[in-house]
Structure 1
Amino acid sequence: MKDVNQTQYFKVTSDNSISVKEIIELVYKALSEKGYNPVNQIVGYIMSGDPTFITSHNNARSLIMKVERDELVEELLREYIKRKAWED
């Protein structure tokens, strides 16, 4: 029997098996395959939080919902800055 005077610990493990970058790439590909403008759809999702902007094709909607929207913005900005640094 457990001691009711002790605090129980619960640890949520995150699924780090796929990176944010990989998720963006897979979602982009799925949206393209379905004939959507991937940039517009991803921006719509990031701005609104409405997952229906992302197709369920190839599990893209479930994948993108695994990461927070601010993580998506961070990754996109990181890649943009990295590419701009090489252009200058």
Structure 2
Amino acid sequence: MADLKNTQFIDINQTKRISVSEVILRVYQALVERGYNPVNQIVGYIMSGDPTYITSHNNARSLIMKVERDEILEELMRNYVETCIERKGREKK
């Protein structure tokens, strides 16, 4: 039994924060597992903010709501630039 004379506390900085890229990966996998087109569903969510575009399978809807939509868009754009645009720039040299 807990000691009721002392105040319990939690250090939020010690709780593990999942990265945006990990959220996107997990949501993508959950959508695929449920037979949805993950690109269409994630775009629908980013454009509208409506979480019902994301399945609740494997807690995907709760996960995606833990990050801001602009963070998701930023991560997707960063990844696109790094994998597509910069690679094409290196190939031209």
TM-score range, shorter chain: 0.7 to 0.9
Unaligned runs of 5+ in 2: 1-11
Corresponding residue for residue 87 of structure 2: 86
Distance of aligned partners of 1:16 and 1:82 in 2 relative to their CA distance in 1, 3 Å threshold: farther
Count, aligned residues = 77
Letter in 2 for 1:36: Y
**Partner Cα distance (2:53, 2:66) in 1:** 15
Letter in 2 for 1:86: R
**Partner Cα distance (2:33, 2:61) in 1:** 14
Distance of aligned partners of 1:16 and 1:79 in 2 relative to their CA distance in 1, 3 Å threshold: farther
Q: CA offsets per residue over residues 16-70 of structure 1, 9 Å max, x none?
A: 5210000000000000000000000000000000000000000000000000100
The structure with more helix, counted as a fraction of residues: 2
Q: CA deviation at 1:72?
A: 0.4
Percent pairwise identity: 67
Tell me the TM-score normalised to structure 1 length: 0.81
Unaligned runs of 5+ in 1: 1-12
